Chain A
Amino acid sequence: GAGVSQSPSNKVTEKGKDVELRCDPISGHTALYWYRQSLGQGLEFLIYFQGNSAPDKSGLPSDRFSAERTGGSVSTLTIQRTQQEDSAVYLCASSWTQNEQFFGPGTRLTVL
């Protein structure tokens, strides 16, 4: 039974470049979440997908951030024109209901 996987595990990019972060949730989980965690900080909610409903994008910090979930499974978080303040660990989680969430190991993004 595979857990939530994320790729890449580390990403270093230059300011102004676009990046794509991938999340493979646990098979059968209907809900998928993206969070951001800056060094020594708590988790900041970004976006939430539930089944076929429109995603809750209320946590996206700017219009440079977007996310898709294809076929109700894999999700991609895209950050356009990256800025240094985007440097953080991006965590994905999935769940069967709105209860317990299963987290991936995260992608550490560094914007130079």
Chain B
Amino acid sequence: SQKIEQNSEALNIQEGKTATLTCNYTNYSPAYLQWYRQDPGRGPVFLLLIRENEKEKRKERLKVTFDTTLKQSLFHITASQPADSATYLCALDPFGQLTFGSGTQLTVLP
């Protein structure tokens, strides 16, 4: 069966460091992968989309990589800030509807 795994339920890092979150998937061949941010009590907010033919995509302090051989995406936040603390979700689109991972809760400590 199809499966999406995000590396850990929770990740704590010190302010200013780079946070790296992992998304692994099995039994998919997605055309693209998305990353969302979710704050408590709110719906997810879209951050980045990367297509299967793209190795890397950047947006301000965010960087996403997509390795279709390893079936893995890495999500990096450089120069992290306490305001980056949230749950980050990866999502794949195998059949026209997104399937989400369970998320990684990131806490950036001041």
B98: CB under 8 A from chain A? yes
Tell me the complex Cα distance, A48–B41, Å.
23
Measured between beta carbons, the chain B residues less than 8 angstroms from A101 are 44, 46, 98
CB-nearest residue of chain B to A99: B49
Taking the closest CB of chain B, its distance from the CB of A75, in whole angstroms, is 14
Inter-chain contact B43/A106, CB cutoff 8 Å: yes
Tell me which of B34, B89, B100 has the highest count of chain A C-beta atoms within 10 A of its own C-beta: B100
Tell me the complex Cα distance, A31–B58, Å.
27
Q: Which listed residue, B46, B89, B103, touches A100 by the CB 8 Å rule?
A: B46
Inter-chain contact B43/A103, CB cutoff 8 Å: yes
Known: A100-B34, A103-B45, A104-B43. A42 touches B96 (CB 8 A): no
Tell me which of B46, B95, B97, B102 has the highest count of chain A C-beta atoms within 10 A of its own C-beta: B97
Taking the closest CB of chain A, its distance from the CB of B64, in whole angstroms, is 14
Contact digits for B96-110, partner A, Cβ 8 Å, 1 yes 0 no: 111111110000000
A43: CB under 8 A from chain B? yes
Tell me which of A35, A42, A98 has the highest count of chain B C-beta atoms within 10 A of its own C-beta: A42
Inter-chain contact A98/B45, CB cutoff 8 Å: no
Q: List 15 A-B contacts (CB under 8 A).
A: A33-B97, A33-B98, A35-B100, A43-B100, A45-B97, A45-B98, A48-B96, A48-B97, A50-B96, A56-B95, A59-B97, A91-B43, A100-B49, A102-B46, A105-B43
What 4 A-B pairs are tightest by C-beta distance, nearest first? A103-B43, A42-B102, A43-B100, A48-B97
Residues of A within 8 A of B (CB): 4, 33, 35, 41-43, 45, 48, 50, 56, 59, 91, 93, 98-106
Inter-chain pairs besides A35-B100, A43-B44, A45-B97, 4 sampled, C-beta below 8 Å: A4-B43, A42-B103, A45-B99, A56-B96
